[in-house]
Amino acid sequence: MMNWLDSHCHINDEAFRDDLDQVLQNMVDSDVKKAMIISSYLDDYDFALKIKKEGIDFKHALGIYPGDVDDVDEDLFNEYVKRMKEDECDAIGEIGLDYHWNKENKERQKEIFKRQLLLARELDKPIIVHSRDAIQDTYDLMKEYRVRGVMHCYSDSAEMAREFVKLGYYVSIAGPVTWKNAKEPLRVIRGVPLDRLLIETDCPYLTPAPKRGTRNEPAYVVYTGKKIAEELGIDEEDFKKKINENYQMLFGL
Ligand SMILES: [Zn+2]
């Protein structure tokens, strides 16, 4: 029996401070045995490193979030770099571009993204990319500064997903694929080769059906995984095996 995994979660978030032990136990009970914890702040990262649970293999990513680039000066940037270089940091992310929340600082966002791409290349660590309303600029930079990595919580077109796959990137699918109105996410999963797919919760956000409306948590990645396996007409065990292989290929080196 293969286990499930969550390739992108924020269990270091405030939203889990009161019942983290239960959330971790729910992972064990749901057979979610691997998870990548994403940190956007240094204190979140320090906290994430302390999260342990018997039977669960946690990995850690640290990155400067595109929404925060205006708050990061050179000293702080260097503090991030220092930690990214350490062995406990398995991936650089989430990094990228977000023009939904801020269109005024595009050049600054691109500069910080570019610098982190170069850093990932130098450190030979995979990237975890956030892109919102900025897909073309994201693509252009990821094409120019090519490293191994994943488009997290992918929410753009199936056509564009295939372009990222052509560059060697993975595409990670979150809860929205389970929602009633899901249309494009279903085209995405059919358009991306199985050896380039990943699954995630991005919890506490984007809760999959049937839990939509409540706080998301890693255990719920099972709903997303089962839905995708069903839509693709793949045996659940085979699907889990594939997802585990992909996760290992991307983050296990
Ligand atoms: Zn995230």
Q: What is the pLDDT along the chain (253 residues), one digit of tens a residue?
A: 799 999 999 999 999 999 999 999 999 999 999 999 999 999 999 999 999 999 999 999 999 999 999 999 999 999 999 999 999 999 999 999 999 989 999 999 999 999 999 999 999 999 999 999 999 999 999 999 999 999 999 999 999 999 999 999 999 999 999 999 999 999 999 999 999 999 999 999 999 999 999 999 999 999 999 999 999 999 999 999 999 999 999 998 6
Percentages helix, strand, coil for the chain, rounded to the nearest 5? 50, 20, 35
* CA-to-CA dists, residue 13 to 18, 52, 131, angstroms: 10, 15, 20
Q: How far is the CA of 201 from the centre of ligand 1 (A)?
A: 9
* Domain 4-251 fold: TIM Barrel (3.20.20)
Q: Give the tokens for residue 230.
A: 């069903």
Domain ranges of the chain: 4-251
Rounded to whole angstroms, the Cα distance separating 155 from 177 reads 9
Rounded to whole angstroms, the Cα distance separating 150 from 154 reads 9
Q: How far is the CA of 37 from the centre of ligand 1 (A)?
A: 9
Q: How far is the CA of 36 from the centre of ligand 1 (A)?
A: 10
Helices (H) and strands (E) in the chain, counts: 9, 8
Q: How far is the CA of 193 from the centre of ligand 1 (A)?
A: 23
| Ion ligand 1 contact residues with beta carbon within 5 A | 202
167 contacts 146 by C-beta, under 8 angstroms: yes
Q: How far is the CA of 153 from the centre of ligand 1 (A)?
A: 8
Q: How far is the CA of 15 from the centre of ligand 1 (A)?
A: 13
Q: How far is the CA of 234 from the centre of ligand 1 (A)?
A: 27
Q: How far is the CA of 59 from the centre of ligand 1 (A)?
A: 14
In the prediction, which pLDDT does 1 show?
77
Task: Name the nearest CA neighbour of 234 among 178, 194, 201.
Answer: 194
Q: How far is the CA of 40 from the centre of ligand 1 (A)?
A: 9
Rounded to whole angstroms, the Cα distance separating 240 from 169 reads 19
Q: How far is the CA of 154 from the centre of ligand 1 (A)?
A: 11
Q: How far is the CA of 144 from the centre of ligand 1 (A)?
A: 24
Within 10 A of 15 (CB to CB), how many other CB atoms are there?
17
Q: How far is the CA of 167 from the centre of ligand 1 (A)?
A: 22
